[in-house]
Amino acid sequence: MDLASENDKQNGAAEHHGRNGVASGGEGSGPGSPSSGEGSSKGADGAENLMKKPIGLLDDKLKKRVRKLSRSNSKDGVLGVAGTPNFVAPHRKWKNSRRSRNGYGRGLPKKGGAGRKGVWGKPGSEVYDELDEDPDDPNFDIDAYNSTHNVELKEIVPQPTEPEVVKKLEAIILEYYEHGDTHEVADALDDLLPPGMKPLVTKTVVAVAFDHKQSQRELTSVLISDLYGRIVTREDICAGFDLLLANLSDIMLDTPDAPHLMGNFIARAVADDCIPPKYAYQSDREDLDQHGQSALVRATTLLSMHDGWGQLDNVWGVGGALRPVQTITQQMSYLLQEYLLSRDLSEAQRSIKELEVPHFHHELIYEAIIMTLEAFNESTEVAMCELFSILDSTCIVTPEQMEQGFRRVYEDMTDIVLDIPLAYSILDRFIQRCQRAGSFLSEALIRDIPTR
């Protein structure tokens, strides 16, 4: 629009100038003109010169002028930001621009981005440009050329080392103890185990189970049974047990009862039909030390019991909250009766820990107090008071569980006294004895002793 309007203005000015010249010549030829003859001749010459002037020259000047205006009017415009005048000189702004300077560019960087100062090419061109080597060059090295051009690339998968596999297996087993899903463990082992390291599965899972409780050992036996046939074979399980039997002396430094536990694992694997029975009956193997042989003797003893292999399903017991409440209560009653007969505090502590029900220890305290009230015997009171004191000092039973067990007895005294008429007096005497033995009973608990 600017170019067309400028051309129209210039053409209109030229035509107006020509008309004025002709008219002035005509006026000069009149009788009243002071130079009538000269005016007519000059007017005629001016009109003739105006007609002879080439129009192409005027168009070239207009094109140059329009080109300058178009250059000065860049994409930023004549005005700067927020309508303020742009004080950058147009020719300098155009000089420093990276846009193409011919009229046919698309506004892209010059030379494809390789036209800046100190640049020898486009970024990254040195990586993809191949060096042209001339075989006729006296410095041409044929060995170096062949070594770089005659190369065949092959995929190499690095094999993990044994310590790396053991470390990953331990993490998988510890996670398995949390969720108990054997299928998830099998999926994780599919991508982890190289073909020659499958015996490490049995060795690692049993070694980790040595440091845990009975419930985790039961999960370990279940895991070995579920992995049999999918991840490991019978030979792999036997090879893993052989590695453990060979290192049993070193394992006993951390787990003194390792031969006993190892015999349980072998007997359970035989009962689950994972390994042949003849493996357990080779207790006279010469390649084993006395600890390895004692582990096989333990497995042979379990397999030779008259009740059959069905009882080996409970070789580790049923740990934790998986058991019914009645079963746990019955086991606690048997535990307390055995303690009253043997008065072995260490055995009682071990049995209580193996129950793995710290949230249910208030039932143990309740059963012990009821047993004391029923016995009506001073020796029983002394034994139970010693047991409560040692359980509190070793933190096997927390003060909250201890107090909850006593308060359960307080609440049931109205029913207990129907069977034990002297229950109130016996309870008062037992609490006083416990108070003298230690400070494991709170003052509030002693103050709330029920009375008839």
Specify the pTM: 0.53
Cβ contact 23:39 at 8 Å: no
Rounded CA Rg of the chain: 52
User: HSE on the CB side for 64, CA within 13 Å?
Assistant: 5
Give pLDDT < 70 ranges for the chain. 1-116, 119, 121, 123-133, 148-151, 308, 318-323
Estimate the share of the chain in helix, then strand, then coil, as percent rounded to the nearest 5: 65, 0, 30
Rounded to whole angstroms, how far apart are CA atoms 216 and 175?
11
Give which of 444, 374, 452 is closest to 413, Cα–Cα.
452
SS3 255: coil
Q: How far apart are CA 8 and CA 2, in angstroms?
A: 10
pLDDT in the model for residue 96:
62
Give all domains of the chain, ordered by start, each with its CATH number: 162-314 (1.25.40.180), 325-448 (1.25.40.180)
Q: How many CB atoms lie within 10 A of CB 251?
A: 20
The Cα–Cα gap between 422 and 443 comes to 24
Question: Which residues touch 207 (CB under 8 Å, ≥6 apart)?
Answer: 244, 251
Q: Exposed, middle or buried, 374 (CB in 10 Å: 0-12/13-18/19+)?
A: middle
Other CB atoms closer than 10 Å to residue 278's CB: what's the count?
Answer: 8
For 232, the token pair is 């490991």
Q: How many CA atoms lie within 13 A of 278 on its CB side?
A: 1
CA distance 447 to 370: 20
Distance from C-alpha of 349 to C-alpha of 108, rounded to nearest angstrom: 84
